Amino acid sequence: MVWLIGSKGMLASEIAAQLNQHNIQWIGSDREVDITDKAAVEAFIQQNFSSGSLQWIINCAAYTAVDKAEDDHAMAQKLNADALINICTATKHYGATLIHFSTDYVFDGSSSIPYIETDSTNPQSVYGRTKLQGEQNIIELLPEHYIIRTAWLYGKSGNNFVSTMLRLMNEKDNLKVVNDQRGSPTYAIDLAKAVLQIIQLDNHRYGIYHYSNEGNITWYDFACEIYRQGKRMGLIKKDCSIEPCTSSEFPQKAHRPSFSLLNKQKMKETFPLSIPQWDESLTSYLKGVTQNAQF
C-alpha cells in the first residue's frame, strides 16, 4: 500500500491516476497532515495503515513558490528539508521505501552539458538550497530511497507555464519570453508513469535519478511551440507575436539556472523506460485541454 503525500498537487494527481489504473491501493494526505510535525506523521500512519501494509511513501509535498521562498526561508526549510527527517524516520520504522522529488535548482546552471546525478551541486536560491538539504537528509537517514530530480513541470492540475501561456496568448497581442534559460519541460503524466515503473519493478536500485522530457530548449522555444500547437488545435483564438528577451528584462528575486538540462541515461537504463520528446508530450497535454474545453 502507498501513502501519497501532497495528494492534491499537480504531480500527485497524476500519480494517483496511475495507481488507480493499475489497482495499487493508496491513501493520500495533503495539508491536513502537518509533515513538519513528527507526531502528526506517526499518527496518520497508525490511523490509516495496518501493521506491515505500508510499502511505499511517495512525497510530492514541497514549498515550490520559488521567489516567495527568498523572503520565507523558515517555511521553505521546514517543508523542503526538515519534514524529510520525519518522513524518513517513519519510512524506516515501518519498513517502507521512499520516493521523493527534487529539482534542477540544486545546480547553478554553469554547465554546458546535461547534468548527471553525481555532478557537483551549487544551488543559487533558497528554494534550491532547501531542496538540496532535503536530499541530504534522506541520504543520511534512509538507504531505501529514490530521489527524482525534475524540471519545468506542467500538468492538468494547477497553474503552470503552459496554461499561463495559453491564457496570455488569448489576452495579449504580444509577449516577451526569456530566451537565455535552457532546459527541458516535464509533463506530469510522463513522470507519474516513471514512478509507476519504479514501484512495479521494485528492483532496489536506490539513489538519485534525473527525469524530464527529452529535448533541449529555452522558455522562448517552449512558448513558440505552445503558440503553434495551440493555434492549430483552436485553443488560441487570436494572433499574438512572441519575442525573445533576456532574464534581466524580467528581474526575479530567486536566481534561475541558465542551464538545467538533466541527463536521463541512468533512469532509462535502470528501470527501463522510454522518455517522450518534449513537443510530443506538449501535444498530449493540449489534446486533453481541447477535450475538456468541449464539455
Active-site pick, 63, 115, 127, 227: 127
Strand, helix or coil for residue 115: strand
SS3 of 235-252: the string is CCCCCCEEEEECHHHCCC
The answer to whether 115 and 208 are in contact (CB under 8 A) is no
Is 127 a known active-site residue? yes
The span from the CA of 50 to the CA of 276, in Å, is 38
Q: For 295, what's the count of Cα atoms within 13 Å in the CB-facing half-sphere?
A: 4
The answer to whether 53 and 26 are in contact (CB under 8 A) is no
Number of H helices, E strands in the chain: 10, 12
**φ, ψ dihedrals at 98, nearest 5°:** -100, 135
8-state DSSP, 16: H
Q: Which of 58, 195, 77, 59 lies closest to 128 in space, CA to CA?
A: 77
Q: In the structure grid, which three cell numbers stand for residue 186, read together?
A: 516535464
Geometric angle at alpha carbon 160, from 155 and 162, rounded to 5°:
80
Q: Which residues are catalytic?
A: 127
